[in-house]
Amino acid sequence: MTRRTSLKLTDERERQLERASELIAADQHDDPPMSVVIDAALQHLLESKENIDDARGEFDPETIQAIANTSVIGLRYRTSIESRWR
């Protein structure tokens, strides 16, 4: 991972952060800081990978792929988890 000193907020990234903020807000009047939203998104990604790995012994690969496949976590039948970013 390359470390950068600034985070460029494109319009699309701003919309995604706003939508994610709504998901973790305590109520409609809560406005969590961006760092909390980013921390929650990172934690969710890490936990999703762990959940997928744990489910591999219980469920068939097609079911896991149908439920867990996203634009971030790409699952191929009977192979590994890979990131589609970059």
**Range(s) of the domain holding residue 54:** 14-22+32-83
Task: Give Cβ neighbours of residue 74 (< 8 Å, ≥ 6 apart).
Answer: 81, 82, 83, 84
Say if 73 falls within a structural domain. Answer: yes
Q: Say how many domains are in the chain.
A: 1
pTM: 0.71
Residue 54 three-state SS? helix
Say if 4 falls within a structural domain. Answer: no
Q: Average of pLDDT values for 31-42? A: 93
Q: How confident is the model at residue 74 (pLDDT cuts 50, 70, 90)?
A: low
Say if 49 falls within a structural domain. Answer: yes
Contact (Cβ atoms closer than 8 angstroms) between residue 31 and residue 20: no
Say if 67 falls within a structural domain. Answer: yes
10 Å Cβ neighbour count for 59?
15
Write down the pLDDT at residue 27: 93
How much of the chain, in percent, has pLDDT values that exceed 70?
A: 80
Say if 77 falls within a structural domain. Answer: yes
CA distance 53 to 39: 21
CA distance 49 to 80: 11
